[in-house]
Chain A
Amino acid sequence: MPPRMLPDPTPETRHFWDGCKEGELRLQRCTACQESYFPPRPFCPKCACREVEVYKASGKAVLWSYVINHRPRPDMGTEPYAIAVVKLAEGPTMMTNIVDCAQTPEALQLDMPLAVSFAKQTDDISLPLFAPAKG
């Protein structure tokens, strides 16, 4: 299997990928209007304020939408897998994969609660994936 397609962080996104490496899902928040947003950028997309802060998000989300890809990309293995979008408890949506869960329409119910987990890919990159929340 070819190596998985991985992100190449830029200065504006470095904090996010460093967070994943350290087991933290990091979002940004505007200090003026309190908007939480994703993907990373050094200003608030709602009010354009440059005074923004990085914070550790809860890692909680719900399953927002997905497709189950039946023609796997070579670096993703040979079985169908869900390409999912989750809605984070803090508001933003994020693309991801759902782990520890059958990749079927029956198992993948919209609005099911999820929690982040980090899958190490290289020394530099861990991907934020989501699993059904326990309890």
Chain B
Amino acid sequence: MKPKSVAVVGAAETTKMGRIPDVSVIGLHADAALNAMADCGLKPSDIDGVACAGISPVELAHYLGIKPTYADGTSVGGCSFMLHVRHAAAAINEGLATTILITHGESGRSRVGAGGFARSASSLAGQFEMPYGPVGPPTMFTVPVLRYLKTYGYTVEDLANVAVIQREWAALNPRASFKDPITVDDVLNADMIAWPFTKLMCCLVTDGGGALILTSAERAKDFPQKPVYILGTGESVETPMVSQMYDFNSSTAFRISGAKAFKEAGLTPADVDHLMIYDAFAHLPLYGLEDLGFVKPGEAAAFVRERNTAIGGKLPLNTNGGGLSYMHSGMYGMYALQESVRQMRGTAAAQVKGAKVSLSQGVGGMFAAAGTVIFGNEAP
């Protein structure tokens, strides 16, 4: 085993998922954390590092009775958990902590104990975007897309295809929110949210959470679950304003984060057996496939249309059903990581047979940030 290897030894989602009106945000964090501790047989007193987004790591630590030597409150949107995994791996190697708990919980639908989405009128986004009428992610994350479609000759049907194929994956997942098959026409004829995005090209809004526990790979063999090793990680941030992306056809943050993770892992896209790309909206898997190097720019739509990412395809993508059909509480990155861990353990509902390497790509805050984690189930 390579020295300084780190593994996920505990992983779990909240007991319930979807609509959970009787649990507050911090309660969802705690439920996921307790499930993850049960998964690996640890107690709060065994945890010496905490990380979370949405709430403060101070709230998390005290609520669970943890007295940590390490706290990470990095909060850059839905990919924060990818960054937490990356920071935790470095922290474990540096001796800052031995056993780090990363949690997510969000009352996205029921809004129990949830904060708001307000931006100060004196922030740059408050001055130079909010006056023009955006209403949260459906009208912000989507702004670059018409340019992207024009650049590569993609169509609205290409966006719809992403949703249709992910619904096919969701049908295999008993915990998925939406399992009934849909067609391209169903997607195109759904309620218009923000042209060209219909409701079925937008993620769900649900309640839920998840938690991960990381420790050194040396210790990992002493835990009950099959260790899932961290092979490589990356992160980057780009812009707080979607209108100021460097290139509307590509996420610079994706490119930097993905390249860093592949380099660290010593792998290439051809080595990846299973892929998760955070899909808050239907265009994100297309950007991700291109920006991570799985296909060349301009090839992603055909790659999806030809069913390479579908059941039986050569690159199974978003096998839990994704944010479009599985669940999306607001910061979905944790659920992508959970599905990667399940795939590496061999316990996923739609298990990819023989998968040895899984990549989880997160995006945060309307293309503001990105995080990448490459997992493996063989000791590096």
Contact = CB atoms under 8 A, between A and B. Distances in A.
Given A67-B194, A67-B195, A39 B120 contact: no
A66 B248 CA distance: 11
Contacts of A47: none
B121 to A, nearest CB: 4
Contact of B132 (A9, A64, A97): A97
Give the contact-size bracket for chain B. 35 or more
B127 to A, nearest CB: 4
A67 B143 contact: yes
A110 interface: yes
A122 to B, nearest CB: 12
Interface in A61-78: 64-73, 75-76
Interface string A102-116: 000100001000000
A76 B196 CA distance: 20
A6 interface: yes
Most buried by B among A5, A10, A72, A81: A5
B122 A83 contact: no
Give the contact-size bracket for chain A. 35 or more
Given A67-B142, A81-B133, A93 B150 contact: no
B133 A83 contact: yes
A94 B195 CA distance: 19
A6 to B, nearest CB: 6
A37 to B, nearest CB: 10
B121 A5 contact: yes
A96 interface: yes
Nearest to B135: A73
Given A39-B241, A68-B194, A95-B241, A7 B143 contact: no
Contacts of B223: none
B295 interface: no
A73 B119 CA distance: 15
Interface string B133-168: 111001110111111101000000000000000000
Given A10-B122, A66-B146, A67-B143, A93 B243 contact: yes
For chain B, what secondary structure do more than half of its interface residues adopt (helix, strand, loop), or is it mixed? mixed
Interface in A47-94: 64-73, 75-76, 80-81, 83-85, 93-94
Contacts of B308: none
Given A65-B144, A127-B131, A6 B139 contact: no
A123 interface: no
Given A67-B197, A68-B194, A68-B195, A6 B243 contact: no
B309 to A, nearest CB: 25
Interface in B66-80: none
Contact of B248 (A8, A10, A64, A83): A64
Query: A-B pairs with the 8 shortest C-beta distances?
Result: A7-B127, A68-B195, A65-B147, A8-B121, A95-B243, A67-B194, A8-B122, A76-B133
14 contacts: A5-B130, A8-B122, A13-B127, A38-B128, A65-B145, A65-B147, A69-B135, A70-B192, A71-B193, A83-B194, A85-B143, A85-B147, A93-B243, A97-B132
Given A8-B127, A39-B127, A83-B139, 11 more contacts: A4-B131, A7-B121, A7-B130, A8-B121, A10-B127, A70-B195, A83-B132, A83-B133, A83-B143, A96-B132, A110-B146
